[in-house]
Structures are given as structure tokens and as C-alpha cells.
Structure 1
Amino acid sequence: MASSQEQKLFRKTYFFRPGYVLPVIMEKNNIETVVKNFEVRDEDVFLVTYPKAGTNWTAEIIDAIQNIDNIDILKERSLMEKVPLLELGPSTHPDLVEDGITQVPSFAKVILETMPKGSPRRIATHLRPDIAPVQLFEKKPKTIVVDRNPKDCLTSLYNWHLTVGFLDPLTWEEMFDAYMKGLTIFGDYCEFIKSWAEYKNEPWMFWIRYEDIKKDHKGSVKRIADFMGKSLTDSQLDEVVRVTDFQYMKKASETIKGRELVLRPGGTWQRKGVSGGWKNTFSVAQSEIFDKDYNEKMNGYEDLKYDF
């Protein structure tokens, strides 16, 4: 029988399969049918991230690069247009309805039905390869993978539980314990990274760390643009950097259409965006437990390991 702590965590989540938990705002049948059979196009740009690894930030960078000739359109983007998370929706679960979340469609269906062919699509996902679209690995569109210090990911995910209505708030101790048991949404961080590492050296894959974007924003934007095959002038590069500055995006997010559907009162899509914030959250004992577990799981993947 699940403990009271697990019951609290899982009220708005479910086991997609043993050991792999998803929030109920993502429907199992939709993932197994619409998402799995999603029609991938050659011009698509996929963004693959573990939750809270810089998804929103990188999606906005890609969006700005794609629309550099019409940069003002970014201000008009709805939530779905800014970060089209492939597996999101539809919102039919009673745990969501009672919180007033009733208007989130299947993002995969909306992407297919509303984005005309020939237009580059920006598509994000937190799914592992075995449940991602089959055509992703057949057509091999440009795919960007963003990695982040897992301690910062977990700290940010904890705050995310406090921010969005489709997840129950947890104490930090509950979140840490859930992670160590592999019960956080989208499963274990290490397993996610290792599963995508199989494709790391493929020419259609581009890996970058969140910390590298923080350290060299402009240089990282150029690298992403080059990978996308988009040549930017110096002024265009500066403009992308300007509109994807963290504080600029945080202010802009306050007026995102549709934000009220999932954010709790006072919540914001961008919180701090710092690196190393985990040090203010983890206890010494928790950090040691995490490090031991992390090093054991990432054994053999030294090129992807973080040095804490």
C-alpha cells in the first residue's frame, strides 16, 4: 500500500508504466496513439529536455531564431505557441477539473492541425526515446537536447510543484524522497539522460548544457542558430539575445495568454533561472546521498556527468 506521502504525490500523477510517473494533464492514450504516431516533418526542430532543465528558455531562443525577421510576434505568442510540449493535454482528469483546468487540448493534435507545412515547427518533449514519436528516429529532424545540473533540476521541480495547479505541492523532504525512489514526474533524471545519450553523436543531434547558455548566452545562441542552419547577422544575434534575456522573458511571461489555466495565483513561468541554487535547498546529508546515487547511476557516462 502506498504511504500517505506517495498518495499525496500521486493524486495528480499516474504510473504510465512501472517506475515511470506522469502528471494527469498528460493522457496515457494520447501519448500511446497521437504522440507515438505524430507526423514528423523534415523542417521540424525538436527540443528534448528533462523537466526544469531550461525548456522554456531554449524554446524561446529557438522561436526567436526562427522568427528573427518578425521578432515582435514573440510578444503575441500563447502558451502553446511558446512552448509546444508534445505530450501535454488533453485535460480531462477530475483532479484537474476541480482546480478549474479544463481548457488544455492535446498539444500534439493542435500542432498537427494548425501549423501549415513548410513552416518550421518548434516541438518540445520530456519523453524518453522509447515513447517519443517513431518518426523522430526515422526522419531525424534537427533535435536539440538541453542538459542541466540534476540538483538544480530537482530544486526547480520542487518549486514547480508549488507553482502549477496540475501538480500537488510537496515539502522539500517529500520531493527529495520521491526523487530518490524514482517517483518524480518523467522518471529518474539519470535514466532520461542515458536513454538519449545513445543518439548524442548523431549529426541531427545537438547537445548543450543549461549552464553553458548561462555562461555564454550570445555564444550559445550562435551555436544553436548555426546548428539550425540559420545564419544571423551581428545585429540579429544581439536581438535574439535581448529578447531571450531571462529578466526580459520573466516580465513578458506575466502576460502570456492562457497562463491562468495552470498557474496558481502569484505564480510565474520563470522563477530565478540561476545555476547552483540547489546549495540553498539541499542539506549536507541529502547532498551526500544524492551524489552517491548519481555517481553509481552515471558510471560509464563520465562525459555527461556533472561535478558537484
Structure 2
Amino acid sequence: MLAPNLDAAHPLEIAAADYEIVRRAVEYVNLRFRDQPEVEEIARAAGVSPRALTDLFRRWCGLTPKDFLQAVTLDAARRILTESDNVLDAAYELGFSGPGRLHDLFVVHESMSPGEWKAGGAGLVIRYGFHASQFGSALAMVTPRGLCGLAFADEGEEDKALADMRRRWPNALYIEDPFATAPYAARIFDQSTWNPEDPLRIVFIGTDFEVRVWETLMRIPLGKATTYSTIAGRIEKPKAARAVGAAIGKNPMSFVVPCHRVLGKDGDLTGYHWGLTRKRAILGWEAGQLCKEWGEV
């Protein structure tokens, strides 16, 4: 892969190109985690020099490769879960505008009616477009009422990602219109635009139970995590952890509705609709954003 022209490319295009190398590095570490490979070995597997890999990681998330990998270990995940005890209780007390969301994307949401959901999107016009992001190609989908879908696609798999999203609302009219979706993508992936006075508008299309789960996900602050059983308890369905997992798997808005912050009870990453490599990458990237805010990088 050619290195991006840093003088000419848009920052998100650079970040998307960087992500492809990050992805290779993370995938290699996943395969060799018991050996704890050194940066030199990881760089070789990713197809770049150790210096280039370090510079790339710093540019992409603010961390060195070593610090990034430490941030996404099982021990780190368990520590985050311990530190996040009662995080949902506190989030419910503070609401969506509490201090825990100071470094997070601000969102306001509404839900379509059960009838609209049961109709499979009939009568709904959804405009879509693919855009560069820190986590690869992102498919944004919007209605006149706001963002309704956000998915990620690995290189060369854009058609697969679009088909997957269209199956959620099979009766809607889909129009490719990247000009309509570009402002949403820019708002989501450019942290400089995150403003509580001008939140991103999203619209949920799902069952009442799914929407309750997705609303709960939105209360997990950056740098925190929770479990399926904790969410089940919060929505007063303590025996519905499996159903919660199914609803999380149907989350139509990756990153915006942070299902990547849900872990297994032992800190395992468990599933992620857009791939465990990307889930690990997002969590590591978020760790880098917190370190920037804390002045640790």
C-alpha cells in the first residue's frame, strides 16, 4: 500500500489509510499474542518500518504501538470493567449531558413508530454514501429525520456492507447520495466538531426492546465499558442478557451507538458485527483520545 500524501490528503483520508496498516498490525498481534511480539516484528508483518509504524500509530490515535497494545489487552479490559462499576447508574443520574460525556460525541435521538419498523421501511427514503474514517470505509445512511445507519466496510467489501444494511429495512427506497451523507460523516469522525450545543441527530428503527438497549449503550462514556448482564439489569430485564446481546448485534449505528464498549463478564471482547479487529482498534483509539485529554501523550 502506498503511503498517503500527507500534504494533499484530507485528514480522514489519511486516517483511513493509516487504519489499513493498524488493522494488519492488530491482526498479527491477535495471532501471536502469546509470544508478545516486539514492535520490529509487528512492523514487518504490517509491511512498514518500525519507525514508520510508530509515527503512524501516533498520528492515528496518539499512542505508540506498545502503549496501544497495552490498552487493548485482556488485563486492561478487566481493569476498565472494574473501574466502570456502576457507570450506568451514574450515567442515568447525569443524563446524556453529564461530565462523563465531555470527550464523547453528543447525540440526540428519536425513534420511528412500531408501525414504521414493522413495515420494513416502506415509504422511507434512505440516502447513503461511503466515506473515509479512522476505522476504514464508513457507510452512512440518513433519512430526513437524521442518521439511521452507520456501518464499516473492509477494503473491497463495500457492496457487502451495503447489502447487510439494506436487509434491515428491505422496503425502503435507497438512493446513493454521498453529498447528503458527507456532513454526517464529518460530524461523526472529526472530533473538533463535537459540540453539546449542536448535537448529531439520529433516528432509531427497531423494536421497542432493541431501542431500549441502544439507548442504554449511548450512556456508556468514552473510556468505560459494561457487560451484557449489566445492561439487562439496567433495562429491568435481568434474565435477558442473551436477548440484549442479540439487540446489540443488530445495532445499526456503529461507533455512534457504542456497542464496542460492551465486553464479556471476564473482559473478553466477545462479538462485534464489524469484526473483533475493528472493535479492538476502536477501543485502542479511544484510549488514545483520553490520554490526549489527560496530557499523557
| TM bracket (short chain) | under 0.3
Structure with greater strand percent: 2
TM-score (norm 2): 0.27
